[in-house]
């Protein structure tokens, strides 16, 4: 391996902070520096900021675009501190001879699925509003916090992959829900194995009392829930999203929140992150936003950090790490 390793930790709020041992492992490989960059930084500016760094541990932002790779010097690895890689142009990475890795999905499975249901319940039962009322010494006003039960409802889960399959299990076996599963990449037997019934998207939209988004983001499903899809939903529907914010058209959802068709929305993700206090969703009392913390359990973060540190170590030794999205480098053994 030529030269000294320089490792950039980009936009991660947790790597090395809760488990310093992960950072210590990186320091044994070379110089390490953390960056907090604008999520919308353009590719050329990003390449200039990260000049000289040959390994990157990356969060959900910024976006490593074709322009980034066109201006970037040697880059051996982008290790995603997560299971998604929609912020990396894989073809451009391949041409640049950059390995892209992810955290094995099973590491995040329980944590993210549990948070999807946790946030959903919080909205349905008005938990946060009731708590804020108690803090204001308004215990006696508790009758205004009558919510809805999750048990025995019809729930549509969009995306029956690693996370969505676990959400389906929790809802079906834990809450006796009828679970409708939409996933064009899964067959009937696969979906039924998790307690769900395979349906097309239109049927899910028309029948579900509650919709949980668990799909990965791609060019085909950007804003998959927009004006037309909302028009097909039941009145008084609840939504919970722990996948990607861009699966939902913000303007369309805001309209349905205003009309009352959507009676509750829980989301751990936004199309533009980080979210700020002036986000229009925050005008609604029946909305909960958490700051992309579904994977934030001690168990999950330890596993994620271990994986990213191991990827950097493997690249240093000249090996292709496990969970590489693509094998591109001729120098890897």
Is position 27 annotated as part of the catalytic site?
A: no
Alpha-carbon separation of residue 15 from 9, 18, 61, 306 (angstroms) = 8, 7, 14, 10
Work out the burial of residue 200: count CB atoms within 10 Å of its CB; fewer than 13 is exposed, 13-18 middle, 19 or more buried: exposed
Is position 279 annotated as part of the catalytic site?
A: no
Q: Prior bond to 274 cis, omega within 30?
A: yes
Is position 244 annotated as part of the catalytic site?
A: yes
The b-or-e profile of 13-41 (16+ CB within 10 A means b, else e) is ebbbeebeebbebbeebbebeeeebeeeb
Given 273, 279, 302, 313, the catalytic residue: 273
Listing DSSP states for 196-231 in one string gives EEE--HHHHHHH-SEEEE-PPP-TTTTT-BSHHHHH
CA distance 215 to 284: 25
Selection from 225, 219, 301, 207 nearest residue 267 by Cα: 225
User: In sequence order, what are the beta bridge partners of 154?
Assistant: 178
What's the length of the chain?
A: 333
Torsional sign, CA 318, 319, 323, 327:
positive
Which contiguous run of DSSP H or E holds residue 302? helix 298-317
Which contiguous run of DSSP H or E holds residue 6? strand 5-10
Judge contact between 316 and 5, C-beta under 8 A: yes
CB atoms within 10 A of CB 107: 23
Selection from 47, 2, 12 nearest residue 32 by Cα: 12
Given 80, 244, 256, 314, the catalytic residue: 244
Given 81, 109, 172, 292, the catalytic residue: 292
Which residues are annotated as catalytic?
244, 273, 292
């Amino acid at each position: 391996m030529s030269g000294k390793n320089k490792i950039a930790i980009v936009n991660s709020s947790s790597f090395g902070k809760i488990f310093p041992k992960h950072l210590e492992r990186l320091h044994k490989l070379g110089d390490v520096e953390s960056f907090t960059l604008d999520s919308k930084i353009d590719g050329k500016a990003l390449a200039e900021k990260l000049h000289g760094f040959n390994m990157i541990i990356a969060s959900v932002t910024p976006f490593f675009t074709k322009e980034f790779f066109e201006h970037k010097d040697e880059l051996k690895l982008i290790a995603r501190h997560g299971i998604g890689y929609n912020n990396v142009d894989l073809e451009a990475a391949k041409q640049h001879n950059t390995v892209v890795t992810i955290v094995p999905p099973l590491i995040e499975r329980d944590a993210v699925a549990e948070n999807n249901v946790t946030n959903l319940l919080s909205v349905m039962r008005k938990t946060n509003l009731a708590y804020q009322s108690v803090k204001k010494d308004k215990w006696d006003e508790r009758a205004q916090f009558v919510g809805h039960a999750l048990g025995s409802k019809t729930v549509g889960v969009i995306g029956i992959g690693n996370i969505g399959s676990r959400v389906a299990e929790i809802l079906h076996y834990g809450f006796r829900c009828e679970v409708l599963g939409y996933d064009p990449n899964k067959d009937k037997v696969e979906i039924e194995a998790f307690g769900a019934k395979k349906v097309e998207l239109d049927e899910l939209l028309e029948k579900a009392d509650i919709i949980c988004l668990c799909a990965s983001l791609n060019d085909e499903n950007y804003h998959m829930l927009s004006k037309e899809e909302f028009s097909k939903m039941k009145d008084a529907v609840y939504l919970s999203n722990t996948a990607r914010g861009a699966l939902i058209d913000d303007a369309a959802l805001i309209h349905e929140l205003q009309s009352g068709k959507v009676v509750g929305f829980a989301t751990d993700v936004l199309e533009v992150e980080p979210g700020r206090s002036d986000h229009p969703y925050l005008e609604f009392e029946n909305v909960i936003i958490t700051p992309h913390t579904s994977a934030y359990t001690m168990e999950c973060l330890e596993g994620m950090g271990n994986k990213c540190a191991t990827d950097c170590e493997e690249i240093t030794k000249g090996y292709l790490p496990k969970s590489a999205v693509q094998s591109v480098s001729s120098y890897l053994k």
